Amino acid sequence: MPQISNPSTLPIFCSLTYQRFLFCSLQSKCISSSSSPVPSQQHIAHLILDQKSVSQALQTFKWASKLPNFTHSQSTYRALIHKLCTFRRFDIVKELLQEMPNAIGSPPDEDIFITIVRGLGRARMVKRVIKVVDLVTQFGKKPSLRIFNSVLDVLVKEDIDLAREFYRKKMMGSGVEGDEYTFGILMKGLCLTNRIGMGKLGEQGA
């Protein structure tokens, strides 16, 4: 788990967070009155997303990991990674990805990689967006069509030529066939650059 700055603030913060969780639990009636309140993974994910800073998001995540009978999941990691991407803390994101297989028994899922792609896209880190495809393979997985399309959607907004090259070399080179959404993304990029005459992408290999 990445180091949390100013850990002395954790007890007070955790107390407030737990009160918020109890209120939400009572309102939604997710937890029966006869059992001790244990937050769901969805509750924790929402709490993480509600935080206003990197340190608070990390504190919430660490606090939850110490609750009895609670274990983190893809959804809670995804919430934390989304928050870190918002603040461009991609260094901590990398640490979280590496710890996931041991922490929860499975590597990052497709939605987490798409979250990273979109976060890098918002930060306009185009070269790093492309490298997410290679990052997926480091976990013994083959990038899905959804991941390729997410990368492509970022690239067309920045550089249509780079997007077309990515489609040819990365997507087609990996044996991944595009769908209607893929070609819609590429057409959007051509329209943005007034190059709609090159629109028969599927027939011309983009």
Confidence of residue 3 (pLDDT cuts 50, 70, 90): low
Instruction: Judge residue 14's burial from the number of C-beta atoms within 10 Å of its C-beta, 0-12 exposed, 13-18 middle, 19 or more buried.
Output: middle
Per-residue pLDDT for 32 more than 70? no
Q: Given the structure tokens 């100013």, which residue do they identify?
A: 6
How large is the greatest C-alpha to C-alpha distance in the chain, in angstroms?
Answer: 67
Q: What is the pLDDT of residue 24?
A: 54
Question: 9 or 76, which is more confident?
Answer: 76
Residue the block writes with tokens 């489609």:
167
Residue type, position 61, single letter: F
So what's the pLDDT on residue 162?
95
Q: How far is CA 200 from each of CA 148, 173, 193, rounded to the nearest angstrom?
A: 20, 19, 15
117-128 pLDDT tens trace: 999 999 999 999
Cβ contact 85:119 at 8 Å: yes
pLDDT digits (tens, 9 = 90+) for 150-187: 999 999 999 999 999 999 999 999 999 999 999 999 99
- Pair 94, 2: CB distance under 8 Å: no
Per-residue pLDDT for 11 more than 50? no
Asked whether 88 and 54 are in contact (CB, 8 A), the reply is no
User: In whole angstroms, what is the distance from residue 176 CA to residue 186 CA?
Assistant: 15
Write the single-letter amino acid at 82. Answer: H
pLDDT tens for 101-115 read 999 999 999 999 999
* Bigger pLDDT: 39 vs 180: 180
pTM: 0.80
Q: Tell me what pLDDT residue 33 has.
A: 41
